[in-house]
Structure 1
Amino acid sequence: MVIALSIRLFPAYAQQKLQRHAGYQVSTLGALNVGVYEGAATIGELKEHGDFGLGTFEGLEGEMVALNGDFFQIETDGVPIRVNKEARTPFASVVSFSREKTLRTSGLMTYAGLQEAIDRQLKTRNLPQAIRIYGVFPFLRVRSVPRQVLPYPPLAKVVKEQQKVFELHNVRGTLVGFRMPQYMSSLNVMGYHFHFIASDFKTGGHLLDGQFLNAVVETQTVRDWQLGLPETASFAAATLP
């Protein structure tokens, strides 16, 4: 169960328009960082708020990718599996994706170069952006993490000691992600955050680095950000930043 908190990032003068540009988030990055991995919402509940996004699963079990209404779990074997609506998440962000702008990049870019190219075409860096990138990627470095057991260690310790890293070459697929403004850093990942899934659904993971050749970037500005706070004992007892 979650308690809903709506953060209006844009004047609510057109409710119907806001609904089409709303993001929904379960819990906070600060809670995840300190080891609050207890499932707070189901995938079925997430689907009521969006068809596109990312996150993780109960116990920090792998990486979540939501694309075109399908939700996938990528565990440490790197293979995506579709999950049912009863699966639970401690942290996730979704939107109903609707492309507003398209950026067609030219030539080979680093991850940093791609971020700079996207930044240049944004009207503002002070609103969240949902971002879909697709194409054939010359190189991607992605990761996943295994399910944790109680007492849960903090996220940084899990990543440092247990993450499984994969290097992918000339792989076709889609990057699903967000660009979050700095003032939301205690709620979500500041800056760019992507999860990858291959077009053949054989591999994927959390993006660490990559090379991008003629990638197609689609963006959607998110003007209403809704936050679902967990009604769980672990969240209630956590010391949050």
Structure 2
Amino acid sequence: MKKTTLGGISAILVGLLYLLTVIIVLLSPPGENAVVDHVTYMNQLILVHYILGFLGILGVMVVLTLSRTIEKQTSHSEWYPYSKVMAIIGFALLAINNLRQTGLDHELSHEALHTGGAVLDTIVLAWAGLVELSPQGWLDFGFVGIWIFTVSVFSLKRNNQKLLSYLGLIGGSCFILTVLGNVTGLSLLVMIGMGLGGLVIVPAWFIYNGALLLKKSNLNTSITTNMKI
């Protein structure tokens, strides 16, 4: 019997942390530039980095747990192992990037504003390349979105948990849409992708999966106990 308690708890936490991140960001409207924003909303944005950092760590646990639960369905799939690795890379990069930024953002933004002049202008222009490892979200949103979409396709094929499957298909598409919005500069796509996906659909998908994993774990524990008796 495969234990899924840790994965279930992690999935619920990932959903809640995604939701919390979007709420904090919405309460910190963008200003003149990223440097000014990281001074104006220093505490809020540092908190977001910590949240996303730990979300990334928990996300890796969720990918590994969910992948174990669908081994039979994906055993003959050439694509699924690739999408699984992509998701692990995405969540790992999310953790590395944001835990790195917890110190870098604060120091760099304050120093740039204090110095001013050409130094400030340079930091503003180079901000994304200096502090962000995936500025357009290809890895941390795109890769994770592709994995969520892939898991949901397999779930739909099993004709099981259709609501969960549809949530995943929409949520994964929203994350991919966010990347396309960043690449093309179309803010509407980003608003749809993060507003619908990040605030509602993706958190719901992770929390729903977490609840099912905990239920499965409790059922396995009950069966094991009865067998011992």
- Larger relative contact order, structure 1 or 2 (CA cutoff 8 Å, min sep 6): 1
Q: Given the two structures, how large is their TM-score scaled by the length of structure 1?
A: 0.21
Larger Rg: 2
Structure having the higher strand fraction is 1
